[in-house]
Homo-oligomer: A and B are copies of this chain.
């Protein structure tokens, strides 16, 4: 019924690529200062481009957000695989969660978009989110297999906790960041106790 979500692609023509890049740069800046609902017309004019051009490359706001966050999330997935090769599965998991929280809260409104994308296939960010889900689940299972994390914790629950931390971080835009402590409390809560 519903076609696949549109995923923005860097155009082949030189002028197209130039504008595509300029829009993406302007969008990243605008999202960081004004959140995910920044004005698209501002972004276009900041990129020195007409509004129609923005819509040509990014027909929906979601497709623009996806393109603006793609690289960061790709790195996150790659880092998960590197961490999985390390010696301590719990360290790997905690380190990854710390990093994930930062990427999830790059700008106000992103956590909500990503958590919605995680289970909604009709969304541009879904593919990337699903990849992250797998990465996180792998790290979790390894930590559980090593007996370091309570075995009844599901990946979905882990992402709930992670999203909560990221959301808290998002809110504290102009204050100090309380997400490290949030994550610490959560992690101490889900690890197995053996002292």
List residues of chain A with CB under 8 Å of any chain B CB.
Answer: 112, 115-116, 119, 153, 156-157, 160-161, 163-165, 167-168, 171, 175, 178, 181-182, 185-186, 188-190, 193
Contacts and interface: CB of A to CB of B under 8 A. Distances in A.
B168 A160 contact: yes
Taken together, the copies of this chain in the complex come to: 2
A157 B182 contact: yes
B178 A168 contact: no
Nearest to A153: B185
Q: Which of A112, A119, A156, A189 has the most CB of B within 10 A?
A: A189
Q: Which of A112, A164, A181 has the most CB of B within 10 A?
A: A164
Contact of A189 (B164, B165, B190): B190
A38 to B, nearest CB: 15
A163 to B, nearest CB: 7
Given A167-B167, A171-B115, A185-B153, A178 B190 contact: no
